[in-house]
Amino acid sequence: MTDTRLNSLGFPKPPGETRVVVAMSGGVDSSVVAAELAAEGYDVVGVTLQLYDHGAALAKKGACCAGADIHDARRVAEAMRFPHYVLDYENVFRETVIDEFADSYLAGATPVPCIRCNERVKFKDLLETARDLDADCMATGHYIQRKSGPRGPELHAGADPRRDQSYFLFSTTPEQLEYLRFPLGHLSSKDETRALAAKHGLVVADKPDSQDICFVPDGNYAAVIEKLRPGAGEPGEIVHLDGRVLARHEGVIHYTIGQRRGLGIGGLSEPLYVVRLDPEARQVVVGPKEALSTRIVPVREINWLGDAPLHSRPEWPLSVKVRSTRPPREAILRPTGPDSGEVELLSQEEGVSPGQACVFYETGGSRIFGGGWIWRG
Which DSSP string do the residues of 217-271 spell out, in sequence order? GGG-HHHHHHHHSTT----EEEEETTS-EEEEES-GGG--TT--TT----S-SS-
Residue 115 phi, psi dihedral angles, 5° rounding: -70, -45
Name the DSSP letter for residue 123. I
Residue 350 phi, psi dihedral angles, 5° rounding: -95, 150
13-17, 25-29, 206-210, 237-241: least confidently modelled range: 206-210
Pairwise CA distance, residues 99 & 198, whole Å: 39
Is 117 designated active site?
yes
Burial of 218 from C-beta contacts in 10 A (0-12 / 13-18 / 19+): exposed
Name the DSSP letter for residue 9. T
pLDDT exceeds cutoff 50 at 55:
no
Residue 188 CB neighbour total at 10 angstroms: 12
The mean pLDDT of 173-177, rounded to a whole number, is: 96
Residue 231 CB neighbour total at 10 angstroms: 7
pLDDT exceeds cutoff 50 at 131:
yes
Which one of 65, 137, 214, 358 is the catalytic residue? 214
For the segment 332-363, what is each residue's pLDDT rounded down to a tens digit? 999 999 999 999 999 999 889 999 999 999 99
* Single-letter amino acid, residue 7: N
Is 358 designated active site?
no
Spatial CA neighbour of 44 closest among 78, 12, 68: 78
- Tell me the CA end-to-end span of the chain in Å, nearest whole number: 61
Cβ neighbours of residue 191 closer than 8 Å, sequence gap 6 or more: none
Verdict on whether the full-model pTM lies above 0.75: yes
Specify the 3-state DSSP secondary structure of 175. helix
For the segment 258-302, what is each residue's pLDDT rounded down to a tens digit? 899 888 887 777 899 999 999 889 999 999 999 999 999 999 999
Domains along the chain? 15-218 (3.40.50.620), 233-287 (2.30.30.280), 293-374 (2.40.30.10)
Question: What are the distances in angstroms from CA 218 to CA 66, 97, 213, 221, 260?
Answer: 14, 19, 9, 9, 20
Q: Please tell me the number of Cα atoms within 13 Å of 270 on its side-chain side.
A: 10
Which is it for the CA torsion 311, 313, 111, 231, positive or negative? positive
Please state, rounded to an integer, the average pLDDT across all residues of the chain: 91
* Single-letter amino acid, residue 118: N
Pairwise CA distance, residues 38 & 44, whole Å: 6
Residue 58 — very low, low, confident or very high, per pLDDT cuts 50/70/90? very low
pLDDT score, position 1: 44
249 has which bridge partners?
236
Specify the 3-state DSSP secondary structure of 199. helix
Instruction: Tell me the percentage of the chain whose pLDDT exceeds 90.
Output: 74
For the segment 181-228, what is each residue's pLDDT rounded down to a tens digit? 999 999 999 999 999 999 999 999 999 887 678 888 677 888 888 888
Which one of 64, 117, 137, 358 is the catalytic residue? 117
| Strand pairing class (316-321; 357-361) | antiparallel
Pairwise CA distance, residues 220 & 212, whole Å: 9
pLDDT exceeds cutoff 50 at 174:
yes
Residue 156 — very low, low, confident or very high, per pLDDT cuts 50/70/90? very high
The mean pLDDT of 3-8, rounded to a whole number, is: 83
Cβ neighbours of residue 268 closer than 8 Å, sequence gap 6 or more: 246
245 has which bridge partners?
239
Name the DSSP letter for residue 367. B
